[in-house]
Amino acid sequence: MLRSLDAITAYRAGDFSVVEKYAWLKLIVSAEERIVNLERITSIGELTQANPVLDYVEKTLCILDGLPVSFWIRELLEEVLVWSETAKGGTLRDRIRWQESGVNLFVHNIGSGELYARYIQERYGEMSLRHDIIDTLIMTHGLVGQYIRGEVVFQENQSLTNLVKSRFLTPEELVRLLLPLNRCIMGGVSEELWSRVQDETEEIIKAIAEGRDPEERTYIKRLERLRAGCIRKGESFHSDLSRIESECDLSSALAPLADLTLWFVEAALQDFSVDEFLKVLILGLHGKIELFGLTPNEGAESSTGAGRSYGSPVRHLSFEPLMNDMYYDYKGIKKLNVYKKRMIEQYLSQMDWTSCLHGAAGSSPHLRHRLEQKAGLEDTVFFTFEFSPAAEKLIQFCIEAEKSPLYEKAVLMLFDLFGLRRDAYDRFHNEETYLQDMNSSGDYKKVILDYIAGSRVVDIGPGGGVMLDLIEEQMPEVRAVGIDISSNVIEALEKRKRLEGRGWEVVKGDALNLRDYLEPGSVDTVIFSSILHELYSYIELGGSRFNPSTVAAALQSAYEVLSPGGRIIIRDGIMTEPKDQVRRIRFLEEEGMLWLARYADDFKGRKIAYQKLSDHEVSMPVNDAMEFLYTYTWGEEAYVHEVQEQFGYFTPTQYESVIRETLGSEAKIVVSRHFLQEGYTEALSGRIQLMDETGNPASLPDSTCLIVIEKARGILI
């Protein structure tokens, strides 16, 4: 085993004296702040108790220990690996002292190389040839991987090529060093990463040793590398880029990028669209730099005449502050701060390409972009977005409110602060789980296929896309389009469409104004599958939610775009008839009664009435009982959302009446049936007993309706 691994093992076993024997280990374990790439961790909370830098170093050393390399290579690479992360270590006092003396702590490979050189000079008085080689390998540590990611230009590896030009190493020796070194570096991140880039890494290392560029240098090639992860997830990079190039001279706008290293750009911007990513990049290249501790004359004036552009000393554009600001910890899982993401998206949407080129600030009083240089670090510019104190507190309130019914109010307050539509907010919290749940409902939705008419179908609120998939797979002659107000849903569906090669389309749009997106008479079928109750519950129409007029407006909107003979298909919740029935619920779980009390306080759709008969039993109107049980079925994780929604809003009779009043006599109801949705009985088994008002066992009433409306032929609105 490597001596360094023995030292780490001893330290982890409680032998802290070993720290004094190894300067590199002392630096790493004395770190008082966690400086890591958040792409590499799953939980931010774990950083307070863990040392991910030490974990990573140990993993790279374990890989080296198992490689079939010669003794001199193993010994040399061991020293490279133990020192390559040291700039992320040290106490706060150490780091202040290092920075004041000129050590670059913000570009970690450079800072680690500087710390290593100082250590060797202090210990031996001068650097030997061996030490120079090790120092060069530390200073270029990770650059091959960063070139593959697009974060650095190939010329950053020039010092490695110089080892050959200076005859310190032969080309073959350099390859023999760099291949296992990068195997350790990338494998330390993940074995999957190494498997994916191994062939490309070998080609790049050969090019370095031979002193040649591995590919033509163009900004498009670099952008492809920067967005490679997003492209693998289904991003339409090339078509988006072509569109943007027709609107903006990207070649000129990105010219300053040619000599810059980008730090943490993928981790900070991977969840933004191509347009947003490029706007941020252009703002970073052309925005006004705030100087901290630098003289006003430092930095070159921008060729655009706006703010400051980069003079020759600037080599690095870092998005580390933005990366650190874009994530938070939720129940031990690292989560994207989608609240900040949505506000940043709005900020960028209000800026055209010319504004970005001039580094102009957005119009929001609660958000601005900021570029800054730090005293003593003139070669690096840092980019981030800065929220006002009020916005920061409100965003934090949204995060805390994820655990309570205050969540909806918090999100609406945030949208009010930034001037966004109140009915356009996403299911921010737990969106991924929600979309997965929607996709698990495919079996329930297959029945809808039997009633589809024509070849042009619109699915309102497609969720995870299960209905779109069913149509495409079982009715290939049909052209299906999903329309949703949620940016989250549209983004997820667009990516999945590209990854899976789906033929359906998705459009961001408003269900109450379909004529804004679809021509009247252009649609053969409009599907409302478990979506009308959400429109009813969330949209404020006439100043109020839970408004029957919302359902009528959605039906009228759909009817307007229907072709003659076209159909509206509704699958949604209902209230049972007769409405005056009473049911008794006996809770078989200790917390059941507390759930009901909490629900009755939190639910705003209508007053939930119940009479407590004992500590575990209540009497309730049947529809109040069912409304509560729908939410009770979903469980605690979904409570914050489900308590906001009223699943049953019309009885079957009321539904038919609303349809006739809204759409008139030319709209024919060709199917109207109702049933108990499969799964409710099983989900409540062992949790409650349902009885009639006399105490006899009772079945759950029907929960769901299926209604098909047909537009008379010859009618076109």
Count of C-beta atoms within a 10 Å radius of residue 129: 10
DSSP-derived secondary structure letter, 270? T
Instruction: Give the mean pLDDT of the chain.
Output: 88
Range from 440-454, 511-525, 544-558, 620-634 carrying the lowest mean pLDDT = 440-454
**Closest C-alpha among 567, 489, 570 to residue 528:** 570
CA distance 372 to 270: 22
**Given pLDDT bands bounded at 50, 70 and 90, which one contains residue 299?**
very low
* Structural element, H or E, at residue 617: strand 617-621
Q: Comparing 50 with 150, which gets the higher pLDDT?
A: 150
Residue 399 has pLDDT above 80, yes or no: yes
CA distance 439 to 533: 18
Residue 686 has pLDDT above 60, yes or no: yes
**Closest C-alpha among 666, 675, 648, 444 to residue 568:** 666
What pLDDT is attached to residue 412? 76
Q: Comparing 294 with 286, which gets the higher pLDDT?
A: 286
What pLDDT is attached to residue 37? 54
Range from 127-136, 546-555, 639-648 carrying the lowest mean pLDDT = 639-648
Torsion from C-alpha of 272, 275, 278, 284, nearest 10 degrees: -70
- State the residue for tokens 């400051």: 308
**Given pLDDT bands bounded at 50, 70 and 90, which one contains residue 298?**
very low
Residue 342 has pLDDT above 90, yes or no: no
pLDDT (mean) for 224-253: 91
Q: Could you give the 3-state DSSP secondary structure of residue 552? A: helix
What pLDDT is attached to residue 293? 57
**Does residue 438 contact residue 676 with C-beta atoms inside 8 Å?**
no
**Given pLDDT bands bounded at 50, 70 and 90, which one contains residue 306?**
very low
pLDDT (mean) for 31-57: 63
What pLDDT is attached to residue 1? 85
What pLDDT is attached to residue 575? 97
Range from 245-249, 513-517, 541-545 carrying the lowest mean pLDDT = 541-545
**How far does the chain reach from its first CA to its final CA, in angstroms?**
80
CA distance 201 to 80: 19
pLDDT digits (tens, 9 = 90+) for 482-513: 999 887 788 889 888 988 999 999 999 999 99
**Closest C-alpha among 317, 235, 268 to residue 39:** 268
**Given pLDDT bands bounded at 50, 70 and 90, which one contains residue 332?**
low
Q: Which amino acid is at 344?
A: I
DSSP-derived secondary structure letter, 148? H
Provide the residue count of the chain: 717
Count of C-beta atoms within a 10 Å radius of residue 429: 22
**Given pLDDT bands bounded at 50, 70 and 90, which one contains residue 50?**
low
pLDDT digits (tens, 9 = 90+) for 152-193: 999 999 999 999 999 999 999 999 999 999 999 999 999 999
**φ, ψ dihedrals at 383, nearest 5°:** -115, 140
Residue 441 has pLDDT above 60, yes or no: no
